[in-house]
Amino acid sequence: MNRCFMAFASGCLALTAAFPAMADVGSRLWATGGVTSIEGSAGGGLSPWALLSGYASDEEWGGTVTLSQATTEDYSLNVAGAGVTWNNRVELTFARQTLDLDTLGTVLDEDELVQDIVGLKVRLAGDVLYSPWGQWSAGLQHKQNREYTVPEAVGSEDDTGTDFYLGGSKLFFAAIAGRNLLVNGTLRATKANQGGLLGFGGDRNNGYEAMAEGSVSLFLTRQWLVGAEYRQKPDNLGFATEDDWWDVFVAWVPDRRISVTAAWVDLGEVADVANLGDQSGAYLSIQASF
């Protein structure tokens, strides 16, 4: 891990120590808000879930703020996000992604790619704990490239796009060795390239495609979770094949107001015009709930 990542981790630990002094948050059960995905919506690191962020129950407001960083061999992705939830029914989020091109920047003469994402999620039906078919939510993520030189150069058709998704989440009590298991599935309609960082649509395809995403999380204790995620990707650009994403993660929830997630992520080949190979590395995220 580089110095920047180590400094980020140290900041996370300092914030974790400070948050227990804050007032209590909403009345939903422990860890039922998930963490924050790299696109700002509540879920895992890579994919939104049907869960809504924070701990707001009926007749309550809640919110989250998040910082995340993923560092691979040739790239680093930084995400800052925030969200509010109303009555455990509607979630509104914002995230800014900054992909530092690092090695590739010397080839493309561009230092970074920046994208803003506004998200809206609505709980349609059910409850993740008590409904036999779990909780179901629908959402959208509207994405805007702030830097479009590189996406346009590699064949992107647009600097703006909107993903639509339907997600289901269910917690199974005492499912494995007496421990609770959280299962999530998401179906996304998208034409985003590399999540939108390389624009939307391309010479190979310029229409929406349905992509499947899934994750499982096992509660080792109330404070510790381990799990894995998988996310399909479209393949719109002729210059390079776009690979699916996956990760394995561990999340620590020492308090209802704070969570820290560490993961090993594999993003495949990302804008691989310089034959850099698969991009895998460490991911760290901290979320505060209020």
The tally of CA atoms less than 13 A away on the side-chain side of residue 1 is: 16
- Better-scored residue on pLDDT, 278 or 176: 176
How does DSSP classify residue 133? T
Number of CB atoms found within 10 A of residue 45's CB: 27
User: Would the pTM of this model clear 0.75, i.e. be above it?
Assistant: yes
Beta carbons of 16 and 184 less than 8 angstroms apart = no
pLDDT in tens, 103-138: 554 445 568 899 999 999 999 999 998 899 999 999
Instruction: Provide the sign of the torsion angle of the four alpha carbons 281, 82, 181, 220, taken in this order.
Output: positive
pLDDT band at 240 (very low <50, low <70, confident <90, very high): confident
pLDDT in tens, 42-64: 999 999 999 998 887 787 888 89
pLDDT over 90 for what percent of the chain? 63
CATH number at residue 55: 2.40.160.40
Query: Could you give the residue ranges of the DSSP H alpha helices within 91-209?
Result: 105-108, 149-153
Whether the predicted pLDDT of 183 surpasses 90: yes
User: Could you tell me the residue range of the domain that residue 20 belongs to?
Assistant: 3-289
| Number of domains the chain contains | 1
pLDDT in tens, 195-208: 999 999 999 999 99
Residue 281's φ and ψ, nearest 5 degrees, are 175, -165
